[in-house]
Amino acid sequence: MQCDFFVLLTPMEGFCSESVRAFLQEHRSEMIPLSLFLMKNPDGRFEAIRSIVPIFSRFEESVGGLNKSGTVEGFSTGQILTQGRLRYSDGFEDVWLGDAYCNLRKRTQARLCIEYLVKNVAFDVKSARHFIDEIDPYVRERGGYPPAAEIRIYHYFTDRTGKLQKLRKALIGSAGRNGKYFLKIK
């Protein structure tokens, strides 16, 4: 199972500096002080004073949520697929380019664009797909978007952090000035 976040368990809250907290937040991770959930009883054994389950529910959106059996949906063994240096979860909600991770759950246009190029094996200039005639209609139909005037591929990869723009530059290749694109996975 491949997951791109972690939980740091510490004895007490004071073991985490602001720089560590910032790092954890940047990587969709969290520090959990066990002192909030456990206490030592008189005979020296630890005893739960409250449930830790609500803390882990914060990660449900990050990994697709827990199903009724308590396993994580979308991250079962065999669900991470690879094409060259591109790795992705089934459904393309989680994408890795090398070691760089990108959560595309709320970035439907970028996710569907990558999905279309993978499904059509567009991995080089010869197999590149036309944006206006092929990629955009697929994204609009599957994503339920109305037709748009003057759309460009970089419109799919915009966010406040610039992370999606970096992903596009590293992953999407242009096949010249003909409006065709492919995935640079080699």
Which structural domain range is residue 150 located in? 104-183
Residue 14 lies in a domain: yes
- Alpha-carbon distance of 50 to 31, in angstroms, equals 17
| Mean pLDDT score, 164-176 | 94
The answer to whether the beta carbons of residues 138 and 112 sit under 8 Å apart is: yes
Q: Is residue 48 part of a domain?
A: yes
Given the structure tokens 């760089």, which residue do they identify? 100
Same domain for 108 and 58, yes or no, is: no
Total domains present in the chain: 2
Give percent above pLDDT 70 in the chain. Answer: 80
Angle at 68 between CA 67 and CA 70, to 5 degrees: 70
In a domain, 76, yes or no: no
Whether residue 32 lies inside any domain: the answer is yes
Specify if 42 maps to a domain: yes
Residue 15 located in a structural domain = yes
- Residues 108, 174, single domain; the answer is yes
On whether the CB atoms of residues 94 and 68 are closer than 8 A, the answer is no
Residue 153 has pLDDT above 50, yes or no: yes
The CA distance from 6 to 134, in Å, is 38
In a domain, 84, yes or no: no
The reported pLDDT for the residue numbered 4 is 60
53, pLDDT greater than 80: no
Q: What is the mean pLDDT of residues 75-92?
A: 73
Give the model confidence (pLDDT) of 67-77 as tens digits. Answer: 433 333 333 33
Do 111 and 175 fall within a single domain?
yes
Quick check: is 94 in a domain? Answer: no
Quick one: tokens of 175? 């096949």
